[in-house]
């Protein structure tokens, strides 16, 4: 009787192991796309301290994505900023500008006097600026 119960347990263990070992490891069609690591980021409204420093664009979306090839800002603590953008053209060309910036309590960033305000948010070391022309994610450049 005892031998039969041990044999039953062994068979059950073997069956479970074979089922686990034979489990499918196929990538589902919905998972074939490369997942953006920032898709799950939790964004919060930026404050002034978050903005200070140098930023380089990491991803572009919206109309800005078809107009720009690259974008960088330097946001200074004294209220000044400077930016450079590489436009797709044709012909491809750089533009630079400087001005003053301000940030209200709701995270609306005003870059220069004439521009529409941008919605500024941060998640970890990333900065996201959103507006009518799209959404851009920036990172701190690490020049070696």
Partner 1 sequence: MKRTLSIVGAFALLAWTALGLFAWSNAQGHFQVTVIESGAASAEAQRASALADELGALHQDLRALSTALGENLEALRDELSEEQTQHAAALSRDVSALRESLRALEPSAIATQQSLILLRQDVAALSAAVHAAPAAEPVAVVAEAIPIEPQPEAETVVETTLPQPGQPAAQPAAEVAPKKRSFLAFQLPSDDLRFDERRAWTLLPALSRVGFDAKSTLHDFSGVSSSITGELEADLSKPGEKPRALLRVEAATLKTGVDGRDEQMRENLAVKDHAQITFELTGFEATKVDAAARRSEGKASGKLTIRGVTREVQMPVQLSIDEARRLCVDGDMSLDLTQFDVPVPNKLGMITMEKDVKLWISLRLRVHPRTER
Binding test (CB under 8 A) with partner 1, winner from 2, 4, 25, 105:
25
d(CA 65, CA 74): 20
| Contacting residue, 23, 105, 125, 142, with partner 1 by CB under 8 A | 23
Torsion of CA 88, 59, 27, 18, to 10 degrees: 150
Smallest distance from partner 1 to CB 144, Å: 19
What is the torsion angle, in degrees rounded to the nearest 10, for the CA atoms of residue 119, residue 124, residue 125 and residue 130?
Answer: -20
Query: 107: closest CA among 117, 95, 94?
Result: 117
Segment interacting with partner 1, rule: CB under 8 A, options 3-11, 15-23, 46-54: 15-23
User: 81 to 120, contacts with partner 1 by CB under 8 A?
Assistant: 83, 85, 87-92, 95, 97, 99, 111-112, 114-118
Residue 77 found at the interface with partner 1 (CB under 8 A):
no
- Position among 1, 32, 40, 42 found at the interface with partner 1 (CB under 8 A): 32
Q: What are phi and psi of 13, to 5 degrees?
A: -65, -45
Is residue 129 within 8 A of residue 135, CB to CB? The reply is: yes
Is 33 one of the binding residues for partner 1 (CB under 8 A)?
Answer: yes
Residues between 39 and 58 with contacts to partner 1, criterion CB under 8 A: none
């Amino acid at each position: 009787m005892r031998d039969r119960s041990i044999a039953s347990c062994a068979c059950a263990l073997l069956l479970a192991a074979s089922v686990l070992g034979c489990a499918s490891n196929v990538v589902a069609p919905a998972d074939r796309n490369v997942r953006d690591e920032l898709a799950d980021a939790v964004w919060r409204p930026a404050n002034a301290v978050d903005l200070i420093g140098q930023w380089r664009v990491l991803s572009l979306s919206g109309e800005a994505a078809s107009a720009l090839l690259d974008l960088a800002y330097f946001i200074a603590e004294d209220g000044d900023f400077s930016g450079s953008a590489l436009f797709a053209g044709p012909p491809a060309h750089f533009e630079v500008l400087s001005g003053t910036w301000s940030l209200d309590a709701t995270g609306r960033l005003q870059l220069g006097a004439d521009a529409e305000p941008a919605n500024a948010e941060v998640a970890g070391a990333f900065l996201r600026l959103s507006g009518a022309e799209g959404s851009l994610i920036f990172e701190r450049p690490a020049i070696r």
